[in-house]
């Protein structure tokens, strides 16, 4: 019998033996860690099948087919109807079964009978498995899960006459909503490119332009500001700060701001306000781009004044400054996990005409309104405010989302004001910067759960009339709903028990607030692990079992700890958008775990480069994405979703995956299959009166339009680079335009570019 075994049959037997041995060894180790016994059993079956194939026995085929059939049942029981979870468990074994069913492989098996594919037990099992996978993928495409009956979006009686987009989010309330409906659900599929402007700058382009009158204003990662014709995209002027950017590693610009001097005339009567590399605040003439000489020193204010020692990448303004009344209010991004003694997170207000300091909110010096005395600094290492702010001029308040005190994952040395104002929403008086109220979203934050996004201000009906509300998305996926006058909860966010067992000396909170409106993912289990094949999925399961994970808020320590959602999870810097007509919140979310470990400094080589040194503490911080050996996530998809919440009921209208695997091949080698997977995403949504949601944030380089009522994709356009930005819209020349930045994002792995792209309906 063995003498008649063909070469291909023996090669197949050797391959099965090798795969089986790996599964048997890994499965045994996984079982010893308390994990699933499936891989141990499957490994034994595949190994035995390999031996039988080598010997030319048809029982090898039958044992493999039986293993595949049992695997199908196990996969459905463990992963349900998620097509990507099924594919990870079934696709590679089914493809191998197809190979084993080929006539020239089966020819070496004795007593095989007819050699047609459908007369092979392995082939039959493979056909059933692949049919299940294909059926689930077909059923899955372009669907949105509905948790509550959809609320029909009210038809717009007024198509909208707004022509400008004067602030980062259109208004100071952070809604990212436009009362325009020339582009709507009935015609959006006809949208086409109107113009493209290339800046020539590199890096992660995340800007949302603003439009004032007949000019569009935008910026590049390294602080170059452009003025463009809104109809043609033709460049009117550019202002290049021409600074040394060689040591800048995290530079970006998410937008610029506009200020009109009351009764002003001539140069700089209207001005563009922008942050810039090197810690500066700049003012330039809106008509010409020339520096405003009466602002600061030759058009610039030095934001590093009073800061003390600041490294080249320690401090940068990456969000559009808030211009309200006659002041410019700004915080800045302070580099994470570099040093406990790092630049202050002070929030400052400057005179919009002269650049003079009006006030400073330094949480460590609450009684000091102005700059520190000569030889002193703003309190170092405090929580910074790196994202966009919202403002209510009527209440006289600016709403400041804060990050973490430095470093993020080690809080033994935090001070009382760090504990109070870290990872919080702080309402400051516009007039003097004093605190009106604060609300903390994460107590003693050790997970880098900065409040990442601009708050959104809306009006909600209440028992005693309309109630001014503030909505705040978080990296965990909460949407906190507060009374913006007082900070009181409108939607309850009960304090919920969380895991304990932090490092000695940590003042860990026993509870954390969790809003009743949230997109928190379910806790991870071993069954949540994923891979391209059963082997790398098994390796991810082993890694999961080796880490500490006790659910949300598992505190980091000396052993590798899994944080889920990670610091890039939930609702990111782009925040939410709101259909203001219908009180519908649109949120795009990420569900992605990271691992964190504190390593004693004495155990780290003095010559080793450490990205997160956490100087002035006993530890360095190790942080990484939870990825498998093939460079794909260990967590099964979806990783990115888009959802709509009806604020009138607090119920989710729909939730759907966003983004395909088109640009997400294993080991970073593309392309992948153009199937809906729910990719990681960075960037925000635009909502319009036309019943549309625009989003370009996904990994697969598409901008898409969704139906606000149902979540269905109505239009999409392939981009030249990653669209990790937030679209905006305006009217010009009688046409509605939708504009976005396609600049890519190196850390996300999307293609880099330098394009600002406008879309409109054809004539």
Structure-token pair, residue 467: 């109630």
Phi, then psi, of 28 in degrees rounded to 5: -65, -40
d(C-alpha 98, C-alpha 683), whole Å:
42
Structure-token pair, residue 183: 């582009």
- Dihedral sign from CA coordinates of 671, 672, 673, 679: negative
Give yes or no for a contact between 176 and 578, defined as CB atoms under 8 angstroms apart: yes
Give long-range contacts, CB 8 A cutoff, 24+ apart: 74-80.
Answer: 74/38, 76/132, 78/527, 79/527, 79/636
Give yes or no for a contact between 621 and 612, defined as CB atoms under 8 angstroms apart: yes
Name the DSSP class of 141: T
Say how many CA atoms lie within 13 Å of 117 toward its Cβ: 10
d(C-alpha 622, C-alpha 445), whole Å:
17
ω before 76 within 30° of 0 (cis)?
no
Name the DSSP class of 71: H
Structure-token pair, residue 665: 């091949």
- What are the E-state strand segments in 280-321? 280-285, 300-302, 315-316
- What are the E-state strand segments in 379-485? 390-392, 397-401, 424-429, 435-440, 456-462, 465-473, 479-483
Give yes or no for a contact between 571 and 451, defined as CB atoms under 8 angstroms apart: no
Given 3-state DSSP classes, what are the helix, strand and coil percentages for the chain, each rounded to the nearest 5? 20, 30, 55
One of 448, 579, 591, 707 is an active-site residue; which one? 448
d(C-alpha 697, C-alpha 589), whole Å:
10
Look-up of token digits 């259109």: 170
d(C-alpha 207, C-alpha 548), whole Å:
38
ω before 638 within 30° of 0 (cis)?
yes
Region of 565 (left: φ > 0; alpha: ψ -120 to 50; beta: rest) is: beta
> Catalytic annotation on 763?
no
Helices and strands of the chain, counted as H and E runs: 8, 39
d(C-alpha 660, C-alpha 417), whole Å:
44
- What CA dihedral angle connects 671, 677, 683 and 685, to 10 degrees? 130
What is residue 738's three-state secondary structure? strand
- Dihedral sign from CA coordinates of 3, 7, 13, 17: positive
- What CA dihedral angle connects 710, 713, 714 and 716, to 10 degrees? 160
d(C-alpha 744, C-alpha 205), whole Å:
6
Phi, then psi, of 559 in degrees rounded to 5: -105, 155
Q: In which order are the strands placed within the sheet that holds 713-718?
A: 177-178, 685-688, 692-695, 702-707, 713-718
* Most distant CA pair in the chain, distance: 100
For 560-585, give one letter per residue: b (16+ CB within 10 A) or e.
bbbbbbbbbbbbbbbbbbbbbbbbbb
Q: What is the Rg, in whole angstroms, of the alpha carbon atoms belonging to the chain? A: 28
| Neighbouring-strand partners of residue 465 | 462
Region of 482 (left: φ > 0; alpha: ψ -120 to 50; beta: rest) is: beta
Catalytic residues: 448
């Amino acid at each position: 019998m063995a003498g008649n075994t063909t070469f291909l049959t023996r090669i197949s037997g050797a391959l099965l033996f090798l795969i089986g041995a790996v599964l048997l060894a890994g499965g045994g180790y996984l079982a010893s860690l308390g994990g699933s016994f499936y891989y141990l059993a499957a490994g034994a079956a595949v190994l035995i099948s390999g031996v039988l194939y080598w010997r030319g026995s048809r029982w090898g085929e039958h044992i493999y087919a039986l293993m595949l059939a049992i695997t199908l049942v196990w996969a459905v029981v463990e992963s349900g109807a998620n097509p990507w979870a099924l594919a990870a468990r079934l696709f590679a074994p089914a493809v191998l079964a197809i190979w084993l069913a080929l006539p020239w492989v089966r020819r070496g098996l004795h007593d095989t009978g007819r050699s047609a594919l459908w007369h092979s037990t392995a082939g039959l099992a493979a056909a059933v498995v692949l049919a299940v996978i294909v059926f689930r993928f077909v059923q899955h495409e372009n669907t949105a899960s509905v948790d509550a009956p959809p609320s029909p979006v009210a038809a717009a009686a007024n198509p909208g006459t707004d022509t400008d987009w004067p602030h980062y989010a259109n208004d100071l309330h952070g809604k990212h909503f436009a009362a325009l409906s020339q582009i709507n659900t009935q015609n959006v599929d006809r949208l086409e490119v109107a113009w493209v402007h290339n800046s020539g700058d590199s890096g992660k382009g995340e800007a949302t332009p603003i439009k004032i009158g007949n000019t569009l204003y935008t910026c590049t990662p390294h602080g170059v500001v452009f003025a463009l014709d809104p109809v043609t995209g033709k460049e009117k002027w550019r202002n290049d700060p021409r600074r040394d950017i060689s040591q800048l590693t995290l530079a970006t610009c998410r937008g610029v701001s506009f200020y009109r001097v009351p009764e002003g005339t001539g140069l700089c009567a209207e001005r563009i306000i922008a942050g810039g590399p090197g810690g500066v605040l700049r003012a330039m003439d809106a008509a010409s781009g020339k520096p405003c000489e009466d602002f600061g020193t030759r058009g610039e204010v030095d934001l590093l004044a009073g800061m003390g020692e600041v490294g080249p990448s320690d401090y940068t303004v990456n969000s559009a400054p808030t211009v309200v009344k006659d002041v410019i209010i700004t915080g800045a991004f302070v580099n994470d996990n570099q040093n406990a003694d790092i630049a202050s997170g002070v929030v400052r207000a400057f005179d919009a005409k002269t650049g003079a300091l009006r006030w400073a909110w330094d949480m460590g010096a609450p009684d000091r309104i102005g700059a520190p005395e000569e030889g002193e600094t703003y309190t170092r290492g405090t929580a910074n405010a790196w994202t966009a702010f919202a403002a209510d001029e009527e209440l006289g308040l600016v709403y400041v989302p804060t990050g973490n005190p430095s470093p993020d994952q080690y809080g033994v040395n935090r001070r009382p004001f760090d504990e109070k104002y870290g990872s919080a929403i702080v309402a400051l008086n516009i007039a003097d910067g004093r605190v009106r109220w604060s609300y903390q979203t994460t107590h003693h934050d050790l997970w880098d759960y900065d409040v990442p996004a601009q708050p959104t201000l809306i009006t909600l009906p209440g028992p005693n009339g309309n109630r001014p509300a503030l909505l705040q998305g978080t990296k965990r996926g909460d949407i906190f709903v507060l009374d913006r006058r007082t900070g009181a909860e409108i939607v309850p966010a009960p304090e919920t028990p969380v895991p304990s067992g932090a490092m000695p000396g940590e003042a860990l909170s026993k509870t954390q607030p969790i809003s009743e409106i949230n997109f928190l993912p379910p806790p991870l289990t071993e069954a949540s692990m994923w891979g391209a094949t059963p082997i790398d999925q098994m390796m991810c399961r082993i890694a999961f079992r080796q880490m500490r994970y006790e659910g949300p808020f598992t505190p980091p320590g000396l052993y590798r700890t899994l944080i889920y959602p990670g610091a890039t999870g939930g609702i990111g810097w782009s925040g939410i958008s709101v259909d203001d007509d219908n009180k519908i919140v649109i949120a795009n979310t990420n569900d992605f775990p990271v691992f964190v470990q504190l390593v004693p400094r004495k155990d780290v080589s003095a010559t080793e480069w450490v990205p997160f040194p956490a100087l002035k503490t006993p530890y360095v911080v190790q942080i990484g994405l939870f990825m498998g050996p093939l460079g794909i996530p260990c967590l099964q998809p979806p990783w990115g979703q888009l959802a709509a919440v009806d604020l009138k009921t607090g119920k989710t209208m729909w939730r759907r995956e966003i983004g395909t695997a088109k640009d997400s091949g294993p080991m970073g080698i593309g392309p992948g299959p153009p199937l809906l997977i729910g990719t990681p995403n960075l960037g925000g949504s635009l909502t319009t009166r036309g019943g549309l949601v625009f989003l370009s944030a996904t990994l697969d380089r598409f901008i898409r339009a969704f139906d606000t009522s149902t979540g269905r994709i109505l239009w999409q356009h392939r981009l030249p680079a990653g669209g990790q930005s937030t679209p905006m819209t305006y009217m010009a020349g009688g046409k509605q335009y939708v504009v976005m930045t396609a600049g890519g994002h190196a850390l996300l792995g999307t293609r880099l570019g330098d394009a600002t792209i406008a879309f409109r309906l054809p004539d």
